[in-house]
Amino acid sequence: MSDSLMATYKRLPIGLQKGEGAWVWDTADNKYLDALSGIAVCGLGHAHPAVTEAIRRQAGELIHTSNIYQIDLQQQLGDKLTALAGMDRVFFGNSGAEANEAAIKLARLYGNKNGIENPAIIVMEHSFHGRTLATLSATGNRKVQAGFEPLVSGFIRVPYGDIEAIRTIAKNSPNTVAVLVEPVQGEGGINIPPEEYLNDIRTICDEHNWLMMLDEIQSGMARSGRMFAFQHNGIHPDIMTLAKGLGNGVPIGACLAKGKAAEIFGPGAHGSTFGGNPLACAAALAVLETIESDQLTERAENLGAKILADLADGLQDVAGVEEIRGMGLLIGIELDRPCPELVTQALEKGLLINVTAEKVIRLLPPLIMSDEEANTLVEILTDLIKAFLNEGTSDNSA
Ligand SMILES: *Cc1c(COP(=O)(O)O)cnc(C)c1O
């Protein structure tokens, strides 16, 4: 392999050249069932005709102008997204990290405008918010931060799912202005908080005039079985960030805001050269239209429930399987030991999966996956897990 690329990724030994629906082909023409969707990006699968056509059409019209002009497609996408989310305004960037940067800047400006010195944002252990300096500082994973000190200050960390820890901060840290939290932790291992957690955070934020900021970059865009995961809780955040599934692979990120949070930025406060350009907005509009017309939100909920039930069935009484959990098509299988080698083993069986937080097999299948494809996924994966755990046992006893 050429070494012209910076060594930021330990890459798997295949390259993909083509995709269709839930399937991809490598450069040697081997076929794989995709249960990862490019990490929750290609929710509509690969080469979806509606997205392909929208990109093709827009590329032939106008790819980019600048945010110094009015951009009709950006306006349309903004109208559609804010209506779907029940939010008021949106800022478009090009990635998840940029969407979170906008959220963090909003929180700081909100604090400073309200006369709070050194405004602080509550963030969670095991969270992931991106790789820019502010977002890696907000991230609850030392591996992401190590070596990049000095980190950006102004973050207070508490355990995920622990509402009392947030109440304690409310008592002791009067400079707090916001809470930034994932409704379901993705990179952290598909961690699902207690059912009332988001509702309780909403209440605390209201009591203290804090902004509730949800990172829905992985959980949003129908993946959780709702268009946005917060809709399971019947609440609204003040700020929500989106990216991954929004453009089905065309880079786009969004920071949405509601009420007072929507009025914080004025002209010159923030910006982006590429953010919300006509090409990205055309792709995202096609994604939203398809999710709605093909009822993919309901599909994610039902298919997720089916896969969870089938996994529970197939892995029943298998020693070494600690927990099988999920919300829609965010699915995690936690083992009692690190299992990174399962990724390569699955590859050899024609299946794309991921392992995160060392011991959690993470599945993020496209929302368009069929029942039959899901059966194939569960079959291959349960066999692999059983073999992996058995091997481990015999190795130990040898
Ligand atoms: C992927 C992810 C990000 C970062 O998105 P990028 O587009 O890689 O910058 C932030 N937050 C969450 C929850 C994510 O899953």
pLDDT value at 395 more than 90: no
Q: What is the per-residue pLDDT across 108-135, written as a single tens digit (0 to 9) for each?
A: 999 999 999 999 999 999 999 999 999 9
Residues 6+ apart with CB under 8 A from 348: none
* Cα 119 → chain centroid: 26
pLDDT band at 391 (very low <50, low <70, confident <90, very high): confident
Q: Which atom of ligand 1 is nearest to the CA of 219?
A: 13
pLDDT value at 396 more than 60: no
Question: Residue 145 C-alpha to ligand 1 middle, in angstroms?
Answer: 15
Structural domains of the chain sorted by starting position, each given as residue range(s) with its CATH number in brackets: 16-47+295-397 (3.90.1150.10), 49-293 (3.40.640.10)
Q: What are phi and psi of 42, to 5 degrees?
A: -90, 70
Q: What is the per-residue pLDDT across 182-205, written as a single tens digit (0 to 9) for each?
A: 999 999 999 999 999 999 999 999
Structure tokens at 76: 């349309």
Say yes or no: CB of residue 95 within 6 Å of ligand 1. Answer: yes
Q: Which atom of ligand 1 is nearest to the CA of 132?
A: 9
Say yes or no: CB of residue 232 within 6 Å of ligand 1. Answer: no
pLDDT band at 213 (very low <50, low <70, confident <90, very high): very high
Active-site annotation holds for 162: no
Q: In angstroms, what CA-CA distances link 339 with 5, 336, 342, 350?
A: 27, 9, 6, 18
pLDDT value at 262 more than 60: yes
pLDDT given at position 276 = 98
Active-site annotation holds for 88: no
Tokens 């994973």, residue? 141
Residues 6+ apart with CB under 8 A from 200: 163, 166
pLDDT band at 393 (very low <50, low <70, confident <90, very high): low
pLDDT band at 392 (very low <50, low <70, confident <90, very high): low
Say yes or no: CB of residue 183 within 6 Å of ligand 1. Answer: no
**Beta sheet of 360-363, edge-to-edge order:** 321-327, 330-335, 360-363, 354-356
Give me the catalytic one of 215, 228, 258, 265. Answer: 215
Active-site annotation holds for 244: yes
pLDDT given at position 13 = 95
Say yes or no: CB of residue 326 within 6 Å of ligand 1. Answer: no
Q: What is the per-residue pLDDT across 32-79, written as a single tens digit (0 to 9) for each?
A: 999 999 999 999 999 999 999 999 999 999 999 999 999 999 999 999
pLDDT given at position 1 = 60
Tokens 């993705």, residue? 186
Among 361, 317, 359, residue whose Cα is nearest residue 337: 359
Angle, helices 197-208/163-172, rounded to nearest 10 degrees: 10
Q: What is the 3-state secondary structure (H, E, C) of the chain?
A: CCCCCCCCCCCCCCCEEEEEECEEEECCCCEEEECCHHHHCCCCCECCHHHHHHHHHHHCCCCCCCCCCCCHHHHHHHHHHHHHHCCCEEEEECCHHHHHHHHHHHHHHHHHHCCCCCCEEEEECCCCCCCCHHHHHHCCCHHHHCCCCCCCCCEEEECCCCHHHHHHHHHHCCCEEEEEECCCECCCCCECCCCCHHHHHHHHHHHHCCEEEEECCCCCCCCCCCCCHHHHCCCCCCEEEECHHHCCCCCCEEEEECHHHHHCCCCCCCCCCCCCCHHHHHHHHHHHHHHHHCCHHHHHHHHHHHHHHHHHHHCCCCCCEEEEEEECCEEEEEECCCCCHHHHHHHHCCEECEEECCCEEEECCCCCCCHHHHHHHHHHHHHHHHHHHHHHHHHHHC
Distance CA 284, CA 276 (A): 10
By most ligand atoms within 8 Å of CB, the mutation choice from 94, 127, 129, 219 for ligand 1 is 129
Q: What is the per-residue pLDDT across 137-150, written as a single tens digit (0 to 9) for each?
A: 999 999 999 999 99
Question: Residue 10 C-alpha to ligand 1 middle, in angstroms?
Answer: 18
Determine whether 396 is exposed, middle or buried from the number of CB atoms within 10 Å of its CB (0-12, 13-18, 19+): exposed
- Of all protein residues, whose CA lies closest to atom 6 belonging to ligand 1? 96
